[in-house]
Amino acid sequence: MRSIVSRSRRLLLASLLCGLALRAEAFAQAEPLPSWNDGPAKQAIVRFVQATTDQSSPTFVPPAARIATFDQDGTTWVEHPMYTQIVYCLERVAVLAKAKPELRHVEPFKTVLSGDRAAMARLTMKDLEPILAATLSGMTVGDFKADVGRWLASAKHPRWNRLYTDLTYEPMLEVMRYLRDNGYRTYIVTGGGQDFVRVFSDTTYGIPVEQVVGTMGGTTYGYSKDGKPVLTKEPKLLLNDDKAGKPQGIYLMIGHRPVAAFGNSIGDRQMLEYTGGGDGARLMMLVLHDDAQREYAYGPAQGLPDTKVGTFTQALYDEAKQKGWTVISMKNDWKRIFSFDQ
Which member of 120, 252, 266, 297 binds its own copies (CB under 8 A)? Answer: 252
Q: Is 66 in the site for its own copies (CB under 8 A)?
A: no
Q: Tell me the window of 105-113, 271-279, 289-297, 312-320 that interacts with its own copies (CB under 8 A).
A: 271-279
Q: How many residues does the chain have?
A: 342
Task: Point out which span in 48-56, 72-80, 251-259, 329-337 binds its own copies (CB under 8 A).
Answer: 251-259
Query: Of 53-61, 124-132, 206-214, 290-298, which part binds its own copies (CB under 8 A)?
Result: 206-214
Among residues 225, 228, 322, 342, which is the contact residue for its own copies, using CB under 8 A?
Answer: 228
219 binds its own copies (CB under 8 A): yes
> According to the binding rule CB under 8 A, does residue 342 interact with its own copies?
no
CB of 92 to its own copies, least distance (A): 21
Site for its own copies in 118-157 (CB under 8 A): 141
11 lies in the binding site for its own copies (CB under 8 A): yes
Residues 208 and 185: beta-carbon distance below 8 Å: no
User: Binding of its own copies at residue 1 (CB under 8 A)?
Assistant: no
**Spatial CA neighbour of 197 closest among 145, 243, 160:** 145
Where helices occur in the chain by DSSP H, the ranges are: 2-28, 40-53, 84-99, 109-114, 117-121, 125-135, 141-152, 170-181, 194-198, 201-205, 245-253, 269-276, 314-323, 330-333
- How many alpha carbons lie under 13 Å from residue 262 in its C-beta half-sphere? 27
Site string for its own copies, 185-204 (x = CB under 8 A): ---------x---x------
CB 127 within 8 A of CB 59: no
**Binding span for its own copies by CB under 8 A among 81-89, 125-133, 242-250, 308-316:** 242-250
**Residue closer to its own copies, measured from CB, 207 or 285:** 207
Smallest gap from Cβ 115 to its own copies, in A, equals 36
Binding residues for its own copies, total number by CB under 8 A: 48
The C-alpha atoms of residue 24 and residue 11 are separated, in whole angstroms, by 20
Q: Is residue 209 within the footprint of its own copies (CB under 8 A)? A: yes
Q: What whole-number distance in Å separates Cα of residue 329 and Cα of residue 331?
A: 5
Tell how many helices (H) and how many strands (E) occur in the chain.
14, 9
Does the footprint of its own copies cover residue 339 (CB under 8 A)? Answer: no
Task: Report how far residue 235's alpha carbon sits from residue 323's, in angstroms, rounded to the nearest whole number.
Answer: 38
Report the nearest approach of its own copies to the CB of residue 139 (Å): 14
The H or E element spanning position 236 is strand 229-239
For residue 259, the number of C-alpha atoms closer than 13 Å in the C-beta half-sphere is 23
User: Binder to its own copies among 86, 207, 216, 316 (CB under 8 A)?
Assistant: 216
Does 240 interact with its own copies (rule: CB under 8 A)?
no
For its own copies, which is the closer residue by CB, 106 or 244? Answer: 244
Confirm or reject binding of residue 315 to its own copies (CB under 8 A): no
Q: Residue 139: which of 230, 259, 213, 33 has the closest Cα?
A: 230
Q: Which is nearer to its own copies, 23 or 156 (CB)?
A: 23
Contact 331, 337 (CB under 8 A): no
Which residue from 148, 151, 270 is spatially nearest to 209, judged by alpha carbons? 148
**Neighbouring-strand partners of residue 217:** 237
Interface with its own copies by CB under 8 A: which residues?
7, 10-11, 13-18, 20-22, 24-25, 28-29, 64, 141, 194, 198, 208-210, 212, 216, 218-221, 228-231, 238-239, 244, 247-248, 251-256, 270, 273-274, 277
